[in-house]
Amino acid sequence: MQFMFPEEIEVWYVLPALRREMSKELKKLGFSSTAIAKKLAITKGAVSQYLSKKRGCEVVFDEKIKSMIKKSARNITNGGDAVPELRKILLKISKTDVICKIHKKYASLPVNCRWCKNDWH
């Protein structure tokens, strides 16, 4: 294992999982893969991989986060912008132990690591 910043964990694991869950919700709400790609500013191929469970499967969100994703998907359906919706959810996730758990799984860390908790301030 190699060292990874918590932010790298967010980019490599959390954001893809969030995009996957958002793609699934938008699909349930009647969006085509092309429309989902446009809304989320990703490729249609990425949407296909998210929906077929080939990408973004390393993270499973709890019911609270899934509820936020569903609400944000409805906001997007009603004309909202996906970027602030996704950022709001990422901010909420950053205040949980999701990133820390993944960080411990995929990176070489000190024994009593608290980096994901922002304890260096």
pTM to 2 decimal places? 0.88
Three-state SS for 59? coil
Contact by Cβ (8 Å): 86, 22: yes
- The mean pLDDT values, 10 residues at a time, for the chain of 121 residues are 80 95 98 97 97 92 96 96 96 86 77 64 36
What is the predicted pLDDT for the residue at 117?
Answer: 63
Show the tokens assigned to 34: 């092309």
